[in-house]
Chain A
């Protein structure tokens, strides 16, 4: 029986079955991970978020070969910003470039702009789902839960950025909703190293109160065996 070696053998009720498993790649978009995106234009280093591109690329490769459902999320808002909360708008507006403002790659965190596109290295393939979300959690104000339930998916493999924000939000909301989630520890990162470490410490305490955590190599091994 194939399970992933993780904080506990995963899925909980194994074996790993591609038809009921999805790879969720969180917010690997230009705004967070590429030159000319929002984080870059705010003058913050991209090293951490870009470090995740190669591991996520490897995950996508094995997930595609294994026939998993693949969902890419993007944090972005409607062009008229009607889905942008007033306090979220204000908090970003005190920076030199706020949500909805025109940056080098288009308007920051706005649907359909180059800045909210998935980075080219991880470009979605035909048949993969791309989900735009206005909040931190992929479950908030989106079809995410319905997409998963309609496909009878109950096991989620999560990767992407940032660990302390949208990744943990989606991971923990999945837990409340009864999903069996796995976070790939070395395929996620935060802008701030200390926040990343604190978040992983919280998620890993007591063996993972909200889901399992695993190393990329162990996820690759398990997925390779189901697709063989």
Chain B
């Protein structure tokens, strides 16, 4: 029992030193290593503006193929609002988010080019012959 206490007393300072060291390291970890490059550092109006322009470009491309996402537009709006309010870090962060969403919508548009056709029910076999097989019970189209 006394032996155990002695061991604990010997290791306690080492454990405390290690814990304090790790804690301080975590606290002093540079922010630019936290995968938030765009919202740290000397963010200026022009940097944020560039991010917004890039996001807008992606969004316009998604509009042109008819697959724009409203969430991308909302993020772009938030970026512009933050920029106007002088919060350039937030503006850049929102613009990055908008760009990611717009890129995803472009991927969707590309993937859908061929995929959509497989989603329709197939005509029952033997029921369709040629292109004009309307039910006789129904009126002819005008």
A pairs with B: no
Q: Which residues of A contact B (CB under 8 A)?
A: none
